[in-house]
Amino acid sequence: MDAATAIYPGSFDPITNGHLDILNRAREVFPRVVVAVANDPGKAVLFPAETRLGLVRCVLKEIGADDVEAVGFDGLLAEFARTIGARALIRGLRAVTDFEYELQMALANRRLDPDLETVFLMAEARHCFLSSSLIKEVARYGGDVSPFVPRCVADALRDAFRSSGC
Ligand code: COA
């Protein structure tokens, strides 16, 4: 187990500037941060797992974050965190509304692995309203998502909704 390694998990469907804000804050604190993309996040997704992971990698390249690894995972997060030697689990908080869900997850993960500490980082105020669902909705209706997501994600959203004809 490595106190220097933090895991930043999520469905990332897709990754947004809000996630990047949290990731960059985590990079300031932890020498090693691994972004873990859930293959089966337990919710309906727009992008398949491989695409979501590919977009995270594309974004990391776009911002020059060579120090960050991105991996996909199946099954329990706490178990996966153990396999990569992570001691800290990063979650972002945007508003009070995030708290109940996050508390539930943090307590469950603590039960599953008492050595895995959930660390909450506060989102930048200008990103507090962002969510992947909101951005997908804007993209679905042809709105400009470029203020909310990195370029490769904006391109992928445009392609996804163009090809689905929605
Ligand atoms: N900026 C912008 N948006 C943010 C954000 C931020 N800082 N932080 C969270 N969000 C949004 C996401 O876009 C997403 O929005 P959406 O619901 O519209 O898609 C939502 O908040 C939460 O997404 P995310 O942070 O990706 O988490 P998640 O809830 O989708 O992922 C897992 C949860 C994958 C970490 C969790 O389900 C998991 O651990 N799964 C593995 C199985 C397991 O171990 N289960 C037991 C867990 S106790």
Do 94 and 133 form a contact (C-beta atoms < 8 A)?
A: no
Domain 2-125 has CATH 3.40.50.620: yes
- Strand-pair partners of 36: 9, 71
Ligand 1 within 6 A of CB of 150: no
pLDDT level of residue 42 (50, 70, 90 thresholds): confident
Q: Is the CB of 111 under 6 A from ligand 1?
A: no
Q: Over the stretch 87-136, which tens digit does the pLDDT of each residue have?
A: 999 999 998 888 999 999 999 999 999 999 999 999 999 999 999 999 99
- Give the residues across from 5 on adjacent strands: 32
**Whose CA is closest to atom 32 on ligand 1?**
10
Catalytic residues: 19, 43, 94, 132
As a whole-number percent, the residues of the chain with pLDDT over 70 amount to: 96
pLDDT tens digits, residue range 5-32?
999 999 999 999 999 999 999 999 999 9
- 72: closest CA among 9, 121, 23? 9
Q: What pLDDT is attached to residue 155?
A: 98
Where along the chain do its domains lie?
2-125
Q: Which residue minimizes the CA distance to atom 10 of ligand 1? A: 131
Tell me: pLDDT of 150 over 70: yes
81 lines ligand 1 (CB under 6 A): no
Is 0.75 surpassed by the pTM of this model? Answer: yes
Q: How confident is the model at residue 73 (pLDDT cuts 50, 70, 90)?
A: very high
Tracing tokens 């679905």 back to the chain, one arrives at 140
DSSP string across 23-83: HHHHHHH-SEEEEEEES--SS--SS-HHHHHHHHHHHHHHTT-TT-EEEEE-S-HHHHHHH
